[in-house]
Amino acid sequence: MLHHRSNNRIRAIVSACTLWVAAGAMPASAQKMEERLDTSGEVLRELINAPDAEIPEELLEDAECVGVIPGVKKAAFGFGGRYGRGVAVCRTNGGNGPWGAPSMLALDGGSFGFQLGGSSMDVVMLFMTPKSMESLLKDKVTLGGDVAAAAGPKGRNASASTDTRFQAEILTYGRSRGLFAGVSLEGASLRPDDDANEEIYGREINAERLLTGQDTGVPAAAAGFMSTLRQIAGQ
C-alpha cells in the first residue's frame, strides 16, 4: 500500500514537472518569434533614418512583397553557407490591395559575401513582380536560379535604376555595422518557416493563405512590424 502511494506521488511530481517545463517553454518560444518581428521592424525603421542610403521610396511603394531577415549569419558548417530567419508580407488583391498578414521566412545557403563587413547582416528583400511573389509560396526557391535577384539600387530617386528594376524580380539589400547597401544573395534559398508561423498564429497555418490574403488576421506580436511597414511603404 505504501509502495503504491509512493509510486503515485512520484508520478504526480513527474507530471507536474512536465507541465511546468511545457508551460515555461511555450512562452519562451513565442517570445523569440515576437523578438524576431520586433527586430525586423527595427531594420525597416532604419531605412527611415538613413537618408543617404535608404531604399528608394518608389521601389518600396511598387513592391508586391517585402521580406526582412535580421541577423543573417555565417553558418558554422560548410563553406560560404549562410542562414537567417525573418518575415515576409505581400499586398493583397494581386498586389493592388493593402498589406496582408505576415508569414515567417527562412533563408539558407548561398555564397554571398558580407560586403559591408561584420559577421552578420540584416537583409531586406523587395519582390517586384507577380512571379517573385509566387516564389514565396513554394516549399523552396533559389535566388538567381528559380527567380532573378539582384542587388538593389539605393538613394531617394529610383529613376536612374530602371535597368536594374527590369532585370531583377527581387531586389536585395543588406545592412551591417550601420551601413545599408545593395547586396547579392545569389545562390541562397528561401522557404516558409512553418514552425514559426504555427507559433505566432497559435495554429497550423499555410504560408500561402497568409501571403495571398486568404487569411488577413494580423497577430498581436506583429502589430509593430506591420505599422512600420505601412509607414514606409504605404498601405
Task: List Cα–Cα distances, 146 to 121, 192, 194, in angstroms.
Answer: 23, 16, 21
The sign one gets for the Cα dihedral 199, 201, 205, 206 is negative
25 located within any domain: no
If pLDDT is split at 50, 70 and 90, which confidence band does 201 have? very high
pLDDT at 168: 79
Q: Which residues pair with 65 in a beta bridge?
A: 90, 127
Tell me if 144 is assigned to some domain.
yes
Residue 173: the pLDDT is 87
Q: Which of 52, 186, 33 is CA-nearest to residue 123?
A: 186
Q: What is the pLDDT of residue 112?
A: 53
**Up-side HSE of residue 142: CA atoms within 13 Å toward CB?**
9
Q: What total of structural domains would you count in the chain?
A: 1
Instruction: Indicate if the pLDDT at residue 174 is higher than 90.
Output: no
Tell which residue, 193, 187, 194, has the closest CA to residue 109: 187
> First-to-last CA distance in the chain?
70
Residue 20 φ/ψ region, left for φ over 0, alpha for ψ in the -120 to 50 degree band, beta for the rest = alpha
Residue 30 counted as domain residue:
no
Identify the band that residue 4 occupies on the pLDDT scale cut at 50, 70 and 90.
Answer: very low
Domain annotation covers residue 86: yes
In 3D space, the residue among 147, 182, 186 whose CA is nearest the CA of residue 164 turns out to be: 182
Burial 187-224 (b: 16+ CB within 10 A, else e): bbbbebbbebbebbbeeebebebbbbbebeebbebbeb
167 pLDDT higher than 80 = no
State the pLDDT at residue 28.
Answer: 58
Residue 1 has pLDDT above 60, yes or no: no
Q: Is residue 52 part of a domain?
A: yes
The mean per-residue pLDDT over the stretch 24-42 comes to 76
Write out the residue range of the structural domain in which residue 144 sits: 46-233
Residue 33 falls within a domain, yes or no? no
Q: Which of the two residues, 55 and 134, has the higher pLDDT score? A: 134
Asked if residue 78 is part of any domain, the answer here is yes
Residue 98 DSSP class: -
Residue 5 lies in a domain: no
